[in-house]
Amino acid sequence: MDEIGLDNSSQSTPITTGTSTPNNHVSASNVSVERNFNLSTESHGTSPIFSNAEEFDQLTLSADNAEEFEQLTLSATEALKTKLNALDDFTFKRKNSVQAASSRIFSRPESPMKKKNNSEAGYSSSNLRKHNYDEFDSDFADWSIEGTGRRVAYEDFTTIDWIHDFAKERARQRILRQQNGLVGQLRLIFDAMEGWIVVLAVGVISGILAAVIDVTSEWLSDIKEGYCKTAFYLNRKNCCWGYNDDHASCVEWVRWTTALQAKSATAEFWTNYLFYIIFSTTFATIAAFLVKCYSPYSPGSGIPEIKTILGGFVIRKFLGWWTLIIKSIGVCLIAASSLCLGKEGPLIHLACCCGNIIPQIFPKFRYNEAKKREVLSAAAAAGVSVAFGAPIGGVLFSLEEVSYYFPFRTMWRSFFCAMVAAVALASMNPYRTGKLVLFQVVYDRDWHGFDLIFFSLLGIMGGLYGALFIRMNLKVAVFRKDSWLRHFSVQEVIVMAFFTSIVSYLNIYMRVNPSELVANLFRECEGGDYHSLCNYTDHWEPTLLLLIASFLKFFLTTVTFGLKVPAGVWLPSIAIGACFGRAVGLMVHAWHRHYPGFWLFASCEPDTECITPGMYAMVGAAATFGGVTRMTVSLVVIMFELTGALTYVLPIMIAVMISKWVGDAFVKEGIYDGWIRINEYPFLDSKEDYVYNTLASQYMTRVEDLMVITATGHTLDSLDELLNDTDYKGFPVINNVKNMLLTGYISRSELRYAMDKAKKKPGISLMSPCYFSSNLPLLDSTAFIDFRPWMDQTPITISPKFPMEMTIELFRKMGLRYILVTKNGQLLGLITKKDVLRHLSAIRHPDIVNTEDSREQQNYMILSERRMSGLTNDFGTV
């Protein structure tokens, strides 16, 4: 994590927050300033910024004459215009007054340093990789204006600095606009086109990839029943193309019972049963083995991690090449197995993998994590577009569910990307029907007023299903995570696949492919009967089988979702709701058929079909889908695009809203928010309100418990000792301990990189002085290091009386990693993103808060006088 006080090895924090150690805290109001300084400040948001004169070396020197003094003093304008290209270091030595006034040289990139650390999420690859700052961080003058400092590449399992990345993009745009002539204009045009080129490529590749997965998974699913003797690579539908009934009259499709020459009905049953179990278990086993050996980031749908990544968290390799390849193969295998899992959710993960890999060819996306997340938002929309054939629903899904930062230009690019993905999928035509998805249907009957009563009941059942599923699934996930099962992920998949295949084959509505099942549950009874769904004379048998299938799928999905295989929960939830809704529709149809004169059916015309069971299946699917994910607007639009019937938007809206209300009455969070919580990802949900009347000073880490760095008085040796003795991720920089005036903030990564780079320069030793302010020794000939280029000189600050509600909004809206609490420029405390997450978790789930946190904090407590990092030494006093 990026926050101060986080121990990489044990999820503990060596600093305390809030009221964990009240005896060591002092009230913010009791902190007094021993010296008063009249600093010229100006307001910039909530962060005080020094004026130009003080920002850039307002030097007070003792000179023999005025001319020498003028040579030693640089104005703010001169400092900004100074560009020195001869040297490449931020270490320098004052030899004479003229050189002293012109030797402000700062570092350029070198090869990255690599080391490995433990972190809260298991392990952390601490790659302090330096960007190509000649291209992207501009020169020192640009960064002096911004004040956010330079950065090394983000480490694994850390949070990005949104403010710094936006400032870096502004600096790049300034340099680009300064280029004149035809070449400059062409570069501006190409720079504006880069974003559209990227989303175009992401949409095309996502559509083609989805089509390949659809065709492959359908072929693997049909292999469980037989093969095509004319072309083995064809599935049953394509092999029997042109036949009205490919189940009976198609001679090109050879069933395994025919191939093995099974004679009796018993032999046929057991042969089909055996092949079904063998193929289902084999597919699931191969997928689990591939995930364990080659891609540990492929399991699940990936949507919780994508939400966290779009929120600013860095999970390296989660959207890489291996994840794309292994998950694409695994999704095909799992979709063809008998496991109650789907492929729609993982398509979003795969689209985001494309959205992470393709932008690497353009430097402005490769070296800017904030810009890259704009492409990922568009890729998420493309994933939903190819999963459901709903490009508009994909844009709304990206806006409503996953995106953390969604500016206006991102909405247009998301719309374009989703549209291109849908066009690419339609041009591939994977189902040979002209439809984007297999279960796309169109209704030609209208609904009646009495249908709303049953639609409301389906909404209630969807909410109850969602709440129960979320609670049970998360309990199973926690047990799997903390028990011995985590060591036997492949074996668990084998057992579940074997058991599920045994149970599923005995029920025809669980045996068939889920996409094919949903397609036939949605459609009207025209063009043939599908496993007795349209048998209205004997409706009790299919109704009973549908109810059994829905309940068995519910329990199997609860246990299965979370296995170490690439799969999602969307299609199983839709299938469960469709089975239950179709059963309700069959019962209402039978009621009307036997009692057509009942007052409830007064609006039905005589001798006509009044009830459409397929419509009940669609509404039930929307209700269960909404109950699990808690989606609203995007879900309604997705279901509308699936059916293409505007008249059915109102029933879907009613069912979805009732489902959400009922679900929120029991469990506030959706399934993905629950997985984010149990995985302890640093994600701040913007949809939840903070209603408590508290102040920032009540939850900040007080200055007595912080490790701070003074602006002067340090050497490389003392800073080395500081980094070796602590695991903190950053340090506030103060003027001195007497006035505690805040100067800035420096991250551990930047400090370590700058120190290691300085040690390689000639004339620099462990006793070389280090400076974090403008108080540079202009007349001293000793070589020293200026760390200001690596320091955030304009950190976000708030008052101790600032409401905690607004503090949380700052973290949410601005993507902050930390906020410093000051009063009249004096440092009082610090609030990190993890402090906010811990506070919110304690409010929402007080029964599951880890009580060991306070004990771990006590173990890491150090006396405050020892934690001031050697404030006095041979190079200065405070």
Q: Output the pLDDT for position 848.
A: 55
DSSP 718-776: HHHHHHHH---SEEEEES-TTT-BEEEEEEHHHHHHHHHHHHTSTT--TT-EEESSS--
Residue 55 has pLDDT above 50, yes or no: no
DSSP 313: B
Tell me, letter by letter, the H, E, C secondary structure of 78-130.
HHHHCCCCCCCCCEECCCCHHHHCCCCCCCCCCCCEEEEECCCCCCEEEEECC
Among the three residues 371, 397, 428, which one is the final residue of a domain in this structure? 428
Lowest mean pLDDT among 102-111, 554-563, 564-573: 102-111
Domain enclosing residue 410, as ranges: 194-428
Q: Do the beta carbons of residue 564 and residue 594 sit within 8 Å? A: no
Does 115 reside within a domain?
no
Q: Between 249 and 227, name the one with better pLDDT.
A: 227
Would the pLDDT of 20 be above 80? no
More confident residue, 137 or 835: 835
* pLDDT reading at 798 higher than 60: yes
Identify the band that residue 382 occupies on the pLDDT scale cut at 50, 70 and 90: very high
At 630, the pLDDT band (50, 70, 90 cuts) reads very high
**Rounded distance between C-alpha atoms, residue 683 and residue 667, angstroms:** 18
| Cα–Cα distance, 416 to 428 (Å, whole number) | 18
In the chain, the number of structural domains is: 3
Contact criterion met (CB below 8 Å) for 744 and 772: yes
| Pairwise CA distance, residues 772 & 774, whole Å | 7
Please answer whether residues 367 and 169 qualify as being in contact, where contact means their C-beta atoms are separated by less than 8 angstroms: no
- Residue 704 and residue 662 share a domain: no
- The pLDDT-based confidence of 837 (bands split at 50, 70, 90) is confident
What digits encode the pLDDT tens for the residues 340-374?
999 989 999 999 999 999 999 999 999 889 899 99
Residue 874 has pLDDT above 50, yes or no: no
Mean pLDDT, rounded, of the chain: 78
* DSSP states of 564-611: SSS-BSHHHHHHHHHHHHHHHHHHHHHHHHH-TTSGGGTTSPTTS---
Burial 97-124 (b: 16+ CB within 10 A, else e): beebbebbbbbbbeeebeeeeebbbeeb
- 154 in any annotated domain: no
Q: Residue 875: name the closest of 743, 710, 715 by CA.
A: 715
Tell me the mean pLDDT in the region 459-478. 95
Same domain, yes or no: 739 and 673: no
Phi, psi of 362 (to 5 degrees): -110, 125
Same domain, yes or no: 717 and 779: yes
Higher pLDDT, 854 or 719: 719
Residue 153, burial from CB neighbour count under 10 angstroms (0-12, 13-18, 19+): middle
pLDDT grade, residue 773 (50/70/90)? confident
Would the pLDDT of 29 be above 80? no
Query: Is the per-residue pLDDT at 380 higher than 80?
Result: yes
Which has the closest alpha carbon to 564: 281, 213, 280, 289?
289
Q: Which residues contact 21 (CB under 8 A, 6 or more apart)?
A: 705, 857, 858, 861
SS3 for 786-851 is ECHHHCECCCCEECCCCEHHHHHHHHHHHCCCEEEEEECCEEEEEEEHHHHHHHHHHHHCCCCCCC
Mean pLDDT, range 459-468, rounded to an integer: 95
- Over residues 344-353, the pLDDT tens digits come to 899 999 999 9
Q: What is the pLDDT of residue 232?
A: 86
Residue 137 or residue 650, greater confidence: 650
On whether both 849 and 739 belong to a single domain, the answer is yes
What is the reported pTM? 0.79
pLDDT of residue 231 exceeding 60, the answer is yes
In this prediction, residues 852-859 reach a mean pLDDT of: 41
From residue 775, alpha-carbon distances to 2, 59, 129, 735, 817 in Å are 29, 7, 30, 10, 28
pLDDT at position 361 is 92
Instruction: Identify residue 873 by its one-letter amino acid code.
Output: N
pLDDT on residue 404: 81
**E strand or H helix at 41:** strand 41-44
Would you state the structure tokens that stand for residue 699, as one six-digit string?
């939850």
Same structural domain for residues 344 and 383?
yes
Residues 741 and 662 placed together within one structural domain of the fold: no
pLDDT at residue 47 in the model: 34
Tokens 């600096």 belong to: 171
Picking from 183-187, 479-483, 603-607, 814-818, which range would have the lowest pLDDT averaged per residue?
603-607
| pLDDT mean over 124-130 | 34
Whole-angstrom Cα distance, residue 526 to residue 431? Answer: 20
* Beta strand pairing call for 714-715 and 769-771: antiparallel
- Are 693 and 822 part of one and the same domain? yes
pLDDT at residue number 46: 35
133 found inside a domain: no
Domain C-terminal end among 645, 678, 711 = 678
What CATH number is given to the structural domain containing 613?
A: 1.10.3080.10
Helix (H, G, I), strand (E, B) or coil at 783: coil
The answer to whether residue 15 scores a pLDDT higher than 70 is no
- Could you tell me if 321 and 459 lie in one domain? no
The identity of residue 425, as a single letter, is L
Report pLDDT digits (tens) over 683-739. Answer: 888 777 777 888 988 889 998 888 899 998 888 999 999 999 888 888 999 988 888
Do both 665 and 717 map to the same domain? Answer: no
Domain boundary among 678, 709, 726: 678
Residue 753 lies in a domain: yes
Q: Is residue 522 part of a domain?
A: yes
* CB-CB neighbours of 19 under 10 Å: 10
Residue 459: what residue type?
Answer: G
Instruction: Evaluate whether residue 161 is within a structural domain.
Output: no
Q: Is the pLDDT of residue 77 over 70?
A: no
The reply to whether 481 and 502 lie within a common domain is yes
Instruction: Work out the percent of the chain whose per-residue pLDDT is above 70.
Output: 77
Q: What's the pLDDT at 245? A: 53
Distance of alpha carbon 559 from alpha carbon 472, whole angstroms: 8
**279-288 residue pLDDT tens:** 999 999 999 9
Residue 606 has pLDDT above 90, yes or no: no
pLDDT at position 524 is: 80
The pLDDT value recorded for residue 146 is: 56
Q: What is the CATH number of the domain that holds 828?
A: 3.10.580.10
For the chain, what percent of residues have pLDDT higher than 90?
38
Residue 63 lies in a domain: yes
Domain presence at residue 878 = no
What pLDDT shows up at residue 658? 96
Burial (CB < 10 A; 0-12, 13-18, 19+), residue 380, is buried
| pLDDT of 144 | 47
Q: Taking residues 546-573, what's their average pLDDT? A: 94
Q: Which of 190-199, 519-528, 705-714 has the lowest mean pLDDT?
A: 519-528
Together in a domain, 646 and 697: no
**pLDDT tens digits along 741-769:** 999 999 888 899 989 888 888 888 888 88
| Residues 83, 86, 87: CA angle, nearest 5 degrees | 95
Both 26 and 64 in a single domain?
A: yes
